[in-house]
């Protein structure tokens, strides 16, 4: 398997599994935290959308497909806010699904040559498209694991 096929497969797996896990939550349970300062499912959905777009589309290409007005809620600098400060869970989940579909479309349009191109947004540790996308692959799995833990806690009645 070539690198680009690997990236496509991993981003697809993260999205598919995230969608399945997010389907287990409703508007109330999506805002539950198992402990103070632990991410809840709503934030994870918004952050996954932000990260996929930022690392797969914006850093490599300089364009974006996400709702940028939500960046302060879900980007890498976002704080853990009170529940009332977040958009409704359904909107966040729908945005994740929309952004994920667009990210997959962008990945499918990319070529192996595109991976070696310098990133449009300069970040010291993300000098090329390949670096940014590979970061999303590991980052996405990290947050997918958090979401899986929340879903297990929910099913066990501990969330």
User: What is the tens place of the pLDDT at every residue in 41-76?
Assistant: 999 999 999 999 999 999 999 999 999 999 999 998
With 90 as the cut, is the pLDDT of residue 125 above it?
A: no
Overall number of domains in the chain = 1
């070696």: which residue's tokens? Answer: 116
Tell me the CA distances in angstroms from 28 to 17, 72, 84, 88, 159, one per residue in order.
Answer: 21, 22, 11, 10, 11
Q: Is the pTM of this model over 0.75?
A: yes
- Are the C-beta atoms of 148 and 21 separated by less than 8 Å? yes
Domain range for 16: 3-155
Judging by beta carbons within 10 Å of its beta carbon (0-12, 13-18, 19+), is residue 22 exposed, middle or buried?
A: buried
CATH code for the domain of 57 = 1.20.120.450
């Amino acid at each position: 398997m070539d690198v680009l096929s690997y990236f496509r497969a991993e981003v697809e797996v993260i999205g598919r599994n995230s969608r399945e896990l997010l389907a287990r939550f409703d508007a109330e349970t999506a805002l539950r935290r198992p402990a103070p300062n632990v991410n809840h499912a709503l934030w994870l959905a918004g952050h996954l959308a932000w990260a996929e777009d930022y690392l797969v589309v914006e850093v490599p290409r300089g364009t974006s497909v996400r709702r940028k007005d939500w960046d302060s809620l879900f980007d890498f600098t976002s704080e853990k806010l009170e529940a009332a400060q977040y958009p409704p869970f359904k909107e966040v989940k729908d945005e994740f699904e929309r952004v994920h579909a667009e990210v997959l479309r962008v990945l499918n349009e990319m070529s192996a040559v595109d991976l070696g191109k310098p990133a449009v947004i300069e970040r010291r540790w993300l000098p090329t498209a390949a670096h940014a996308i590979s970061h999303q692959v590991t980052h996405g799995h990290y947050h997918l694991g958090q979401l899986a833990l929340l879903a297990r806690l929910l099913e066990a009645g501990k969330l």
